[in-house]
Amino acid sequence: MGELIAPDLAELSVFTARLRVVSAGGDAGLGIEWLDAIEALKSVGCAVQAVITDGVATSIRADRKAAGLPRADWDRGIASQIALARRESPNRGGRHLGFAQALVHEMPHTLALLRSGRLNEWRATLLVRETACLSATDRGIVDRRLCSDPATLDGVGDRGLIARAKALAVELDAAAVVARHRKAVSERRVTTRPAPDSMAYLSVLMTVEQAVCLQATLGRDADSLIATGNSGGRTHNQLMVDLLFERGTGRAAAGGVPVAVNLVLSDETLLAGGHEAAQLQGFGPVPAGIARQLVADAVDNDTETSLRRVYSCPQLGALTAMESQARTFPKSLRQLIDLRDRTCRTAWCDAPIRHHDHIRSRRKLGKTTARNGSGLCEACNYAKEAPGWTARPIQRPGHTHLIDLGTPTGHHYRSAAPPLPAAARQSEVEAVLIAQLRAS
């Protein structure tokens, strides 16, 4: 058998185009074989991506070292470049970079198993994650004992794989596992993320004993309310959620939200029964009826409520600009950028806005304006300051705000601000009257 020759990018593009039209043709048996083959292809692709990712990072670091840049700058922005190429957030790009480096430099058997198609990316990620606290030597031992023989993990579920990796980690370095647990405890936190049907997930990362105790307490008290006839028709799960809210806020679940939220909706949605969705900052779109109910509940429960007018282009919802002579963005302009951008403006990054950045920097005579401003997360703002990165706003009259971001490798990515909810439509009579008033 002759030596295999790696395909070039053109060959890969042709193969990808051919793969798009694959069909099992109604044959279930053939369909299963295709699923198996494509799953193996995905694993091979993930392994190759890991090798290429490590190579990209190594090359960039070597170039920066040769250029005499400080060591602190060697890694800056690399994860962001990888994330943009993979069409995902910088956070996920950083995790993929760490995953790739672990496989290439410390876990060759796991990489080989992934490359053979016998291990998928998620299971390889689990192995990398569960051995992260170990030294390179001990990690290599786990890698060899679990992945040198492909049969070792055949038929083993994800939980079983995690259990085996954890057991070996404790056997090799119990102190490192304990230290990792202590670090995890110090990183306990509460987060939210959107859920379907205008709901949200509240996630609490805490110690397992605290989590079990909290759930048991809520379940016990919900059972008590049901047993005494005080459930108000609510189910066990509904009672647990309401109890958690009441004990966390000090207010009844029906009493409204006691903290400030930014709800952006058109005047037509608010006042004229319009159907366009509103935007709840930090969450996303909310159906018009629910948005009006949120406002009504706040007013009915005497919650402090304020109304602020925001002007936008009636055709495309682009937010109007504001200017300032200040070197830093004043509060009102920061609020305008927050409303316009909603989340970090880097493509595929939807992290919360932490920095208000000059797209064209002040060093290059960039102005403090809405057009030259963008909302970024910390990671994207710091990455953009690394050597070789460029950014510029693109003028598009009548369209939403657009940014062109260039990476040190010469690739460009564009990010358009989402449109605001549409303004109320004017009747023909109103349009005529306004035109006459302007003419006079």
For residue 104, pLDDT beyond 90: yes
Q: What is the pLDDT at residue 33?
A: 92
Mean pLDDT of 75-91: 94
| CA angle, 340 then 379 then 352, to 5° | 35
The closest of 20, 92, 19 to 49, measured between CA atoms, is: 92
Contact 405, 414 (CB under 8 A): yes
* Tokens, residue 127: 């192995």
* Tokens, residue 220: 């016990």
Q: What is the pLDDT at residue 27?
A: 84
The closest of 357, 341, 352, 348 to 392, measured between CA atoms, is: 357
d(CA 92, CA 267): 38
Q: What is the pLDDT at residue 272?
A: 61
Q: What is the pLDDT at residue 121?
A: 95
d(CA 59, CA 10): 23
Q: How would residue 102 be classed by pLDDT, with cut points 50, 70 and 90? A: very high
Q: What is the pLDDT at residue 324?
A: 47
d(CA 65, CA 279): 46
Q: How many C-beta atoms lie closer than 10 Å to residue 15's C-beta?
A: 12
Contact 115, 39 (CB under 8 A): no
d(CA 27, CA 6): 32
pLDDT digits (tens, 9 = 90+) for 272-326: 667 777 777 666 677 777 777 776 666 555 555 555 555 555 555 555 544 444 5
Q: What is the pLDDT at residue 40?
A: 94
Q: What is the pLDDT at residue 347?
A: 92
* Tokens, residue 309: 């007018």
Q: What is the pLDDT at residue 152?
A: 93
Mean of the per-residue pLDDT values for the chain? Answer: 84
d(CA 82, CA 60): 12
Mean pLDDT of 39-64: 96
For residue 240, pLDDT beyond 90: yes
- Reported as type and span, the H/E element at residue 402 is strand 402-406
The closest of 357, 337, 351 to 401, measured between CA atoms, is: 337
Token look-up 């002040």 returns 362
pLDDT digits (tens, 9 = 90+) for 157-186: 999 999 999 999 999 999 988 888 888 889
Question: Which residues, other chains included, contact 281 with Cβ-Cβ below 8 Å and sequence gap of 6+?
Answer: 261, 262, 263, 264, 338, 339, 342
Rounded to 10 deg, the angle between the 174-186 and 158-172 helix axes is 120
